[in-house]
Amino acid sequence: MAVEPLESKEIEERLAELPGWSLDGDRLARTYRLRTHFAATAMVVHIAQVQEELDHHSDLTLGYNTIALTVNTHSVGGAVTALDFDLARRVEALAPGHGAS
């Protein structure tokens, strides 16, 4: 099944279901704050595992106690697709277990 870019209206509707996520240009974006650098590092490893399972990868930036993610789908010219929202939902599901806010 081919992956297709989502229309602006559908992106807005899906973002409404993901508090904290936003559209930054042509990418979904979210920053998490964690209690410690070690907790942030552990969450990055967990996100990397999910990305491997989905075979879909974000740009991840690890700070002292923060993680920033941005994601779009390169195979459709860098547009936002359902794959990006699948990854965002998976990351949101694991974030509370790491104490991320």
pLDDT of residue 32: 98
26: Cβ contacts below 8 Å, ≥ 6 apart: 72, 78, 79, 80
Whole-number Å distance between alpha carbons of 25 and 14: 16
pLDDT of residue 2: 79
pLDDT (tens, 9 = 90+) of the chain, 101 residues, equals 579 999 999 999 999 999 999 999 999 999 999 999 999 999 999 999 999 999 999 999 999 999 999 999 999 999 999 999 999 999 999 999 999 99
CB-count burial class (<10 Å; 0-12, 13-18, 19+) for 80: buried
pLDDT of residue 1: 59
Whole-number Å distance between alpha carbons of 99 and 85: 21
Pair 36, 66: CB distance under 8 Å: no
